[in-house]
Amino acid sequence: MARLFVAATVFAFSALFAGADPVRIVFDTDMCGDYDDVGALAVLNALADAGECEILAVVSSSRSSSALGMCEMINASYGRADVPMGSPKGIGYVAPDEKKGVNAVFHSMVADRRAALRYPNSDDAPDANEVYRRVLADSPDKSVTLCTVGFLTNIRRLLETKGDPISPLGGRELVAKKVKAWYAMGGKIPEGVEYNLSRDAESSLLAVRDCPVPIYFVDFDLGVDVRTGIPVARRGVSAGPVSEAFSRCLKVWNEETRGRSSWDELTVLAAVRGWERYFGAVRGTMQMVDEKGLMPCDTSTDGPRFRKNRWSASEDGAHFLLVEKMPKKNLAEIVDELIARPPVGKHGRSIPSTPSPSSGGAVVEPL
């Protein structure tokens, strides 16, 4: 029955989107500390293969990380190695140099392919501000969807930009003119400390407060028990970077039998196909608050003072919280099918791995 449901769903959506214009997406990821980002970029590429979206750019919201190296590897396997990339400059979260864990897996995967990658360290990439501004300036009005599955550093910096040779418009005006919606993974409902919004809390406060377009939030609870990744992991480390990442990371966190939570994958699904197909939505306001539950009076104080977020439902709020409509088991089946869907055509390529000192040349067995 599960296979019939997935097959029917895939057919229905293929028919639905056959004549629709592709959704124009900028994908903004931390790609550090968790591996649902890997699944999200795989879902995005699968949907691009199906003609449902166009990936305009991929930017990292983490500094000094292997994020863009991982993204380039994944994109290359789908034939999109040349997608524009960028990263934040001057401010933002610096990924820890872990000796074990998910970051260590990403670091070793990138180190093994370093010579073939443009940006093995995200700090080597162009400024995300330039990438964002160029993509937006070159796009039709109200045609771009922002999809963030990490920290909000890049959005905050973009909104603060001034007019330049790329566009005479400031960042807030450029976003208002060119962006139709922003889908963001972040938040603990009704109040709490959540990873994406808390790591660069000042940027979260400013980006969410000052964004001139609707924001649709996928919160912690919506994705935590949508478990995916086992089918693609079972293909083993030699089947490509997505399979390798899931195969290795599921073992790191002892999730081989239950799969990984799918916060980021759900965010991509909603951003490309629209939230109405899978979710309900509650209107309201997302805010960053201090430890006493009060809004900070300014943003010059320490980030930890306002690391918490608070959601308040209201009919006139500028934000939307996505809530469960389709059973989560069915969502997991749809996500798993997209993550594991083979690339279309002959243009995808694997960036070969050369065992490096970081990995010791070890071979990791598949699940």
Task: Name the amino acid, one letter, at 348.
Answer: G
Residue 64 domain flag? yes
Which whole number is the average pLDDT over 290-302? 60
Task: Name the amino acid, one letter, at 28.
Answer: D
Which residues form the domain of 91?
22-340
Percentage, residues of the chain above pLDDT 90:
80
In the block, which residue shows the tokens 């973009």? 158
Residue 5 domain flag? no
Burial class (CB in 10 A: 0-12, 13-18, 19+), 365: exposed
61: DSSP letter = S
Residue 352 domain flag? no
Percentage, residues of the chain above pLDDT 70:
85
pTM: 0.89
Which whole number is the average pLDDT over 24-32? 97
DSSP track, 240-294 = -HHHHHHHHHHHHTT-TTT-EE-HHHHHHHHHHH-GGGTEEEEEEEEEEE-TTS-
CATH number of the domain residue 69 falls in: 3.90.245.10
Phi/psi for 213 (5° steps) reads: -120, 160
Q: What is the pLDDT of residue 183?
A: 98
Q: What is the pLDDT of residue 295?
A: 65
Q: How many domains does the chain have?
A: 1
Count Cα atoms within 13 angstroms, Cβ side, for 229: 37
| Window from 62-66, 91-95, 302-306, 332-336 with minimum mean pLDDT | 302-306
Residue 125 · residue 87 · CB < 8 Å: yes
Residue 365 domain flag? no
Residue 360 domain flag? no
Residue 275 domain flag? yes
pLDDT tens digits for range 356-366: 444 433 333 33
| Window from 75-84, 175-184, 198-207, 337-346 with minimum mean pLDDT | 337-346
Residue 356 domain flag? no
